Amino acid sequence: MKIGIIGAGNVATGLAKFWAKNGHQLLLSYSRDAEKLKRTAASIDRKVQTGTAAQAAAFGEVVVLAFPFTALDDAMKSAGTLSGKLVFSCVNALKGDNSGLAVGTTTSAAEEIAKCAPGARVVEGLPAFADLLHSDSRLVSGMKPSVFVCGDDAEGKQIVKKLLEESESEVIDAGPLWAARYIEPAMMLLVNLAYAQGYGSRVGYKFLHDVADPQRNKGSF
Ligand SMILES: NC(=O)c1ccc[n+]([C@@H]2O[C@H](COP(=O)([O-])OP(=O)(O)OC[C@H]3O[C@@H](n4cnc5c(N)ncnc54)[C@H](OP(=O)(O)O)[C@@H]3O)[C@@H](O)[C@H]2O)c1
């Protein structure tokens, strides 16, 4: 699959190493330092291409967003049109100093991204902590951490789920895009637990459930 990535930091590189290993074609973009971008791409795999955010958007069958929420306006402007694209957002709505969320519970980073990208099929999939992605093992207490996807495009969500599973996490479908309003604060809680409460970066959630086939029990509330 052709994957264009906007943002070339911890999350982008942490995911890209799995995707490169599995034979996906990657184009990495959106660093403020062109030489660093090239070095970063080469450190993942020599086949990883680099370019502008607009080139990543044009290249990708899937366009992965992996930049800070504070850079949202600039990143989306730089990407140009994403109409018709499957957009896989890893962006959490963190404030610049990570002290809390810039938006939450009434909207989300994912929904703000969808507003900036008319016609795009936006799916949110916040991955496991980058420290885990970059370490020798993804397992925490011997288990794969659960991460959540949400979005309004069923086919797109399946693709994002599969890509996240390649990063060795358990992926739970949390429903429509608005579920991001609750996923993002949950990830903020994890940031707090890891860095303010002293649990460190090898942390994650495990979603426990008895029902084997959630499709059978689906309903509204
Ligand atoms: N880290 C995690 O564990 C984790 C887990 C789940 C979700 N997330 C979310 O994933 C997203 C990316 O996180 P990350 O940890 O990969 O961030 P990061 O390491 O700081 O990477 C950010 C990337 O965005 C680029 N960028 C371009 N313009 C920027 C600007 N004006 N300000 C800041 N960065 C700019 C940076 O390029 P330069 O080379 O110029 O710095 C860098 O490539 C965030 O929304 C975060 O909330 C993170």
pLDDT for 213: 84
Instruction: Tell me, yes or no, if the pTM score tops 0.95.
Output: yes
Q: How do residues 168-209 score in pLDDT, each as one tens digit?
A: 999 999 999 999 999 999 999 999 999 999 999 999 999 999
Mean pLDDT of 10-38: 98
CA-closest candidate to residue 166, choices 27, 36, 24: 24
pLDDT for 216: 80
Selected residue with higher pLDDT from 58 and 220: 58
pLDDT for 119: 98
Q: How far is CA 33 from CA 68, 75, 87, in A?
A: 16, 15, 24
Indicate whether 68 pLDDT > 90.
yes
Q: How do residues 128-184 score in pLDDT, each as one tens digit?
A: 999 999 999 999 999 999 999 999 999 999 999 999 999 999 999 999 999 999 999
pLDDT for 218: 83
pLDDT for 150: 98
pLDDT for 211: 87
65 CA from centroid of ligand 1 (Å): 9
153 CA from centroid of ligand 1 (Å): 25
5 Cβ neighbours under 8 A, 6+ residues apart: 12, 15, 16, 26, 27, 28, 29, 30, 56, 60, 63, 64, 66
Q: What percent of the chain has pLDDT over 90?
A: 95
Q: How do residues 91-120 score in pLDDT, each as one tens digit?
A: 999 999 999 999 999 999 999 999 999 999
Tokens of 189: 């809680």
Which of 5, 11, 90, 92 is the pocket-test mutation for ligand 1 (most atoms within 8 Å of CB)? 11
165 CA from centroid of ligand 1 (Å): 21
DSSP-assigned beta bridge partners for residue 64: 5, 88
